[in-house]
Structure 1
C-alpha cells in the first residue's frame, strides 16, 4: 500500500486482525423455542433469548460461553458486558493493538464473515489513535475511508479529556457493504518528541477518556467497551416472504437497518417482555404503559391502544392529551326548574361548562394537530426518552409565564416565529418560542427542532427545557440567555445602550461558536447541518459567553452521506452561493455562513448594507475587494484597530477568506477552523 506523501517518512506499523466468526453449535432450532431451565445470568450479566448458555438455550449464532462466571461470545475472546436491543457491549481489549519501535511494517485486515450475526457498530464506536507523530486509517481496496493523525508539539500542549489531535485523535468508522474486507493500519515517524509506542483501538463512543500520560504509558482500562451490532440473519428471509411469524406473539419484526435482510423483533405497543419468545414468556400486556386515563375505556388494536371517555365525560381519554373530565351540565339544568334564580345560575354554569368543553376539545385538536400522537407513540413504544429529558408544559402555564404573551415580553422576532421571556412558578426565567404562521411546514419544523435538540448536549448550544402541544401553534421552552444576540451587540443598541465588544470577547465568541459547529458536524451521534448560522442566532450571556440557537430548519444527516438535496433555506448575506445555486446541502454551507460571522466580528458591519449608504451592498464582496487591493485596514472595526494585534487580525481574516471560498470543496472543515481559532487563544 502506498503511503500518502503528506505523511512524509511515516512508517507502517502493525494493527490487528479481528475475525468475528462467532458461530454456535449447529442444533436446528425454531426461533422462540428453548428449554425452560436455561440459565438467565452468567456472573453479573443477564442472558436473555436469543442469547443463551448451554444446549437448547440459544438461537443459532448467539451462544454465550460462561467460564468461571465470566461470559464470552462463543468462538471468540470477546468478554460480554451487556446485551442490548440490536447491540452487545463487550470489553475493548481484544480490539487493542500496540506497536512499538523498531518493529517491521505490517498491514492487517478486518474480515466481517458471512456466518456471523455480529458486526462492529458504526454509529456507537470510534477509531482512536494514541501516541505522538502517529496516524491511523481504515481503508477498503480503493481509497482511505476514515483516518486521523495525532501529534505532540509539547507535553503541555495536550489536555486531559481532549482527543482532538494532540496525543490522541479519533474518527468515525466507515459504513461498508456486507462482508466487505477492510484494511487498517497505523503510521508513525521518529522525531524529537515521540512516544515509544503507538496504540490503536475501536471503543464505544464516550467510554474512553484521554489522559495526556497515556501518550507515553498507556494501559486500557477494564471499563472501556466496544459495541457490536447483531440481528437475525437474512437466511430466514424465505419464512418472512411466506408470512410465517418469526417473532413471538404480540410482537412484530422490523428491519435492523444494518444490512438488507437483517431484522429484529419488538413488542407491539402496550406490551413488554422478550419479543423473541413464543408463549407466556414473551410479550405481555403492560397496564402501566396504558396511555388511557383511569376514567376512559381502553380498546386494544393492532396499532396500539384506543381511548374513549365514558358518557357525561369529555376529552380524548389520553394521559398525554386532555384526559376525561366530568360534565355536569344536565344535572344543573334539571335543578334550575326549582326557581328562576337557580335556573339562571344553572344556565350560567351550563354556559361555562360548554365553553370549557369547547376549550378542551380545541386543545385536544391542537394536541393531535401538532404531532402529539406521534410523540405519544414514540414514548410508549419505548423508542425514545423525550418525556424523561424534557418537560411537557400546559398552555395555561405558559400563558401565565408570559402574562398572556404580552408585547413587553417579546425578546425577538424572526422568520420562524417570536420569542418571549417567560417567568415560571418559582421565579425561573425561560425563553418561549412561538411560531408565527399556522401551517403544516411550521409544525414540521417544530418537530424537526425538537428531535434535533433532544440529541444535542454542548455547553455552547442553547438547552431545550420543554415544549407545549395544547396551543394553536406548538411552543418550545429554552433556557434564558440574558445578554441579547451578537447581532445586537455588533450593529446597534441593546436596552438603549450602545454596546461595544472587546477584541478578546470577539475572538472568544468566534472560538466558542466554531466549537459548537464542529460538535454538530463531527461529534453528534448523527451529523447535523444548522443551515442558518448568523449573528442574530448567536446568544450571549452577561459575560458574553456564546450559545448557538434556532434549529428550526436544521437537518440530521446519515453518517454515510456528506450532502443532501433540499429546498434552499437560509438568510441573505449568509447564504452559501454554491448551496443556493445547486440545492446540495453540505457541512461546508455552515462553514461559509460562519465565515460571514467572522467578517462581522472583524468589521462591525452588517452582511448586507442598504444601497443609499453607497458604501457597499455585500460585506463579503466588499471585504474580498479590499483584501485584494491590500486595504485590509480600511474595513476593520475601530475597536479591533485599537485593541487587536495585527498578526491576530490577519490570521482571523485568513480563516474567514478560506471559509468564504466559492467552491465548497476548498473550504476547511469546522473541525479545522475550530482548532485554528483555539490555538490563537
Structure 2
C-alpha cells in the first residue's frame, strides 16, 4: 500500500544529477569501441556502447551509468534514475520516473501531496512525444504538467452518466494529454480547488504522471484505491530519446570525434529543434554502429522462412540473391517447373481460364476500389457532419458576405502544401503545425493542422467558425476557411510574410529596433485584442497571447494570429476551461488558480509582450536563478525599487525617450496586476498606446509640459493603484521557486 503523510512538496521525482552540466561534444579520449575491461551488462540489462558503466567506459560522461545493487539485484542508474532498457536502433532509453499524487487522510482531515518531476536539461536525453502520454487518474481531478515551454494537462470526472470502463481512458476517472515535442523538463501539479470533500470519500487519491503509452492500461480499481500506485510501486516507465552529440552529421562527419565508426553505418540527424545526431547500421546490417566492425551483415537465408520460396537463397553483403534448381526457371520472383510447350488445342482451355481469371481479378479489384472510395467518402461525410459542417454550410448561404469564408476539401489543401511537405512548415506549436500553401488561385495561405480537439469544440466547431469568419480587422490575421472532412479540422489563414515579433526581438539579427517601431507594433496588437474582446459580434478570448503569435508584414505592421487556443467568451460562470494549457512566462496567475479564462487573462499576457518590447528579454528563463527566471517578476521588482533603467534595452534607452518609456512601463505594470479587476481593458490599453504614438510623432509636444500632460491624460477608468501588490510577489516568487527546485 502507498504510504501517506509526506509534506506537500516532498521531492518524489528524479534528476540526472551526475549528468547535468557535463554533456559536451568530443570529450571521449578514445573515439569509439568498448573500453577494455568494461562490462556489457548490469544485472539483466544490456549496456551497449556508447553507454558504459562509469564515465571511462562511455563515449562521453553524458552516457556514463552506475551499476548498483538494490535488494541484492544489480541495476543500472543514470544519476538516481533506474535504466531498464537501451535501444541503439530506435535511439531510446527506458527509465523510471515518479508518480505525482495527492491523497486525503480521513483521520486528520488533511490532504498529503508528492510531486513527481524530471529534469533532463544539459543531458543528451529528451522525453519522447511519440512513445509517452500525460495520464491523470481520479474523480473530479484537474492536474497539469509544467515544462520549460508548455503547461498542459486535463480533467477527469466520475459522473453517473459516464461510467468508468476498463481499458478506456477518455475522461471518466482517467484522461490523457499529448506530450509536447522537445521537452526536457516537467513537474506535476494538482488544482486543489477542483476537488471537494465529497469526492474524496469516493476517490481518496488522485495521480498525474508522464509514462510510456504501451505500459499503461486503465483499470477502474485505480480510481477508488491505491492500486495504481501499488502496481507500479510509485515509479512508472518513461521512454527517452537521445542523441550522441550536439553537431549535425554534416558538421561532424570529418572530425575525429565522429561516432559512427563501424563500416556499413549511417549518420542520422536529430528531429528536434536543437541540432544533434546518432548512428544506425545500414540496411541489411545489424549490430552496434558505435564500435569498429560493429555492424554485421544479416544472413537473410538463415531465417525460418526462405525469402526465395522453393528456390536457392545465397547471402550477399547487405542483401541476398535467389536462383532456381535445375529444371525450373524464375518468374516474378518464383521458381516454376519448365514444361513442354502445349499444343494449340491443349492451350485453349488454359488461355480461356487465364482470361477468365484476369477478368475476375479486375472485377474484384474494381469492386474493392469502389467500396474503399465509398467508405472514404462516408468517413469524410461523417467528420464533416460531426464538426458542424452542415450547419455552417447552410448558415453561410443564408448570411450576406459569408461567401468570403470557404470550406476547403482535404485534396485542395494537400495540393496547396505539396502533400504537407516538411519543406512547407513555417511554424510548430503546442496546438499543431502551420504550413505555407499556394491555392490554385495563386493566393498564398497558412494552413494549420491541429493535433487534437476536445469533444465540446467538436460539437460547437461549425458555429465557432461562422463567428470567427466574420472577424474583419486590419490587425487580425484573416481566417479564410477551414477543412472539416478530416478527424481534426484544419484552418486556413491569410499568409503574413515577415515572421513573428518573437523572431524580430530575439532572433539575433543585429538590427536596431526603434522605439517608434516597437510602439507601433504594441498599438497594432492592442487594437486587435480590443476588437476581439469588444468589437466583434461575439466576444472572443485569444487565450495564448505571446510574441510568437504576433505576425509582422513587410512594413512591420502587426497582425495577431493563432486562434488554436481561442474560445468564445463564456456566457455564465459555470463554463470553465477543462484543458489547462498556455505558455510559461505569459500565463495569468489568476487563471492558474481559478481555471477560468477571461479577457483580463489576455491583458496580463499582453503586459508580458510589452515587457519584451521594452527589455528585449525572454519572458521565462529556466537557466536563471531566483526571481530572474520570470521577466514579469524582475520588472515588478525593478518598478517597486525605482530601477526601471536597468531593465530597459540599450537600443531605446535615451534621455529624450525616458518619459515615453516610463509611461509604457507604467501601463505594463497595470496590465500585470495580480487581480484581474485591477487591470485595464484592452480598449483602454489601445487608447493609451495611441496617445503615446501621437507624442512620438509630434516631438514638439514633449517640449511643452502642459501639452504633454493633456495628451497623456488618462480616463478615470485607467487610474490604478501604483503600489505593487505584496501578494503578487508572494505568488510569483513561489511559482519560480517551485520550478527551480523541481516541485
Query: What is the TM-score when the length of structure 1 is the normalising length?
Result: 0.46
- If asked which structure has higher relative contact order (CA below 8 Å, sep 6+), I would say 2
Query: What is the TM-score when the length of structure 2 is the normalising length?
Result: 0.42
